Amino acid sequence: GLAGAGWLYLRREKERRRRQRRLRDLRALALGQGDFQLQDTSGTPRSRADLLGRWVLLYFGFTHCPDVCPEELEKLCRAVELLEAVPGLPPVQPLFITVDPARDDAAALGRYLRDFHPRLQGLTGTAEQVRAAAGAFRVYVSAGPPDPDGDYVVDHSVLTFLLGPDGLVRDCYGRSRTAEELAKSVRGHMESY
């Protein structure tokens, strides 16, 4: 029994140290430390300060994305649902920031996001405002050439960011992570916060 307890302690301690190293690395990159000025789907101005005090899962994407963005939003929202099912955990705010403000105005975002999660918020703004927000998180964005119908694809980084109540990026997740892995990681960050 004592050996088992010792093993569990060492395992938790190793995970805690791994999280601390990851957080140090993310802070060194200065991810998400800049402010942004955007608008939500009702036209209300929003900034980074509005996120303080809450856990946030943030994804940058666009509503005309054929497959990646919807898959990532479904995964993000599924992770939020898994976390909501755990009693005693603080709520996580799912957040989507468009990288295509030319097509994703507040109304378009509102229509698109209502199919994912009832608390999923969307933010948009001018091209300069969106570029500044993406730049603060070092999200790559590049609009492709339009086809004859004027449609185009926006190439962008596919990352989901976890922001802590202090507003700092606590972790970021690539496309290969599952909703269950996201939820487990977020829960670990909450418990060690």
Q: Using an 8 Å Cβ cutoff, are 100 and 190 in contact?
A: no
Residue among 62, 22, 24, 18 at smallest CA distance from 158 = 62
Per-residue model confidence (pLDDT) at position 32: 57
Instruction: Enumerate residues 6+ apart whose C-beta is below 8 A from 10.
Output: none
Bind-site residues for Cu cation: 65, 69, 156
Q: Using an 8 Å Cβ cutoff, are 78 and 179 in contact?
A: yes
Distance (Å, rounded) from C-alpha 164 to C-alpha 52? 8
Bind-site residues: 65, 69, 156
Buried b (16+ CB within 10 A) or exposed e, 27-41: eeeebbeeebebbbb
Per-residue model confidence (pLDDT) at position 34: 67
Per-residue model confidence (pLDDT) at position 106: 95
Per-residue model confidence (pLDDT) at position 19: 72
Q: Domains (ranges, CATH) in the chain? A: 31-191 (3.40.30.10)
pLDDT tens, per residue, the chain with 193 residues: 777 777 777 777 787 777 777 667 666 555 556 678 999 999 999 998 899 999 999 999 999 998 999 999 999 999 999 999 999 999 999 999 999 999 999 999 999 999 999 999 999 999 999 999 999 888 999 998 988 988 898 989 999 999 999 888 889 999 999 999 999 999 999 988 8
